[in-house]
Chain A
Amino acid sequence: MLTTLSRKMIMALTGAFLCLFLTIHFLGNLQLFMAPENARIQFNAYSHFLSNNPLIKLVSYVLYLSIIVHLIDSILITIKNKKAGTTYQQDRRKRASKWYSRNMGILGTIILIFLVIHFKNFWYVYKFGHAPLDSNGQKDLYEIVVTTFQEWWYVVIYVISMIALCYHLIHGIYSAARTFGLYHPKYVRWVKYIGITFSVVVCTGFALMPIYIFFTS
Chain B
Amino acid sequence: MKLTLKIWRQKSQQQAGELKTYTLNDLNSHMSFLEMLDILNEQLLLANEDPVTFDHDCREGICGQCGMMINGIAHGPLKNTTTCQLHIRSFSDNDTIIIEPFRAGAFPIRKDLSVDRSALDRVISSGGYISTNTGQAPDAHAIPITHQTTEAAFDAAACIGCGACVATCKNGSAALFTSAKVGHLSLLPQGKEERAERVINMVNAMDEEGFGHCTNTEACEVECPQGISVLQIARMNYEFIRAKIFEKEK
Contacts and interface: CB of A to CB of B under 8 A. Distances in A.
Interface of A: 1, 3-5, 7-9, 77, 80-81, 83-93, 95-98, 101-102, 104, 171, 174-175, 177-183, 185, 188
A3 B215 contact: no
Contacts of B105: 83-86
B213 A85 contact: no
Contacts of A182: 234, 238
B44 to A, nearest CB: 21
B188 interface: no
Given A77-B213, A89-B19, A171-B216, A84 B72 contact: no
Interface in B190-234: 203-204, 206-207, 210-220, 222-223, 230-234
Rank and list the top 6 A-B pairs by shortest CB-CB distance, nearest first: A181-B238, A84-B212, A92-B72, A84-B172, A96-B222, A183-B234
A82 to B, nearest CB: 8
Given A81-B172, A86-B105, A178-B234, A4 B98 contact: no
Given A81-B170, A183-B234, A8 B214 contact: yes
Given A102-B217, A183-B231, A88 B238 contact: no
Interface string B144-181: 00000000000000000000000111111101000000
Contacts, number: 142
B234 A96 contact: no
Interface string B88-110: 00000000001010011110000
Secondary structure type dominating chain B contacts: mixed
A96 B207 contact: no
Contact of B103 (A5, A86, A96, A177): A86
Interface residues of B, number: 51
B212 A85 contact: yes
B71 interface: yes
24 contacts: A3-B207, A5-B240, A7-B213, A77-B215, A81-B213, A84-B210, A85-B212, A86-B104, A89-B19, A90-B69, A90-B71, A92-B71, A93-B72, A93-B168, A93-B170, A96-B218, A101-B215, A102-B170, A102-B215, A174-B216, A181-B241, A182-B234, A183-B235, A185-B231
A108 B214 CA distance: 17
A1 B175 CA distance: 18
A88 B103 CA distance: 8
Nearest to A100: B217
A4 B173 contact: yes
B82 to A, nearest CB: 16
Contacts of A180: 237, 241
Contacts of A87: 103
B5 interface: no
B158 to A, nearest CB: 17
Contacts of A95: 73, 222
A188 B72 contact: no
A3 B204 contact: yes
A2 B74 CA distance: 30
B19 A4 contact: no
Contacts of A85: 104-105, 169-172, 212
A98 B234 CA distance: 19
Given A84-B171, A178-B216, A188-B231, 15 more contacts: A3-B207, A5-B203, A8-B237, A80-B212, A81-B172, A81-B213, A84-B172, A89-B100, A90-B100, A92-B72, A93-B223, A96-B168, A97-B219, A178-B237, A183-B234
A8 B222 CA distance: 22
Contacts of A89: 8, 19, 98, 100
Contacts of A3: 203-204, 207, 240
Contact of A181 (B98, B106, B213, B234): B234
B72 A86 contact: no
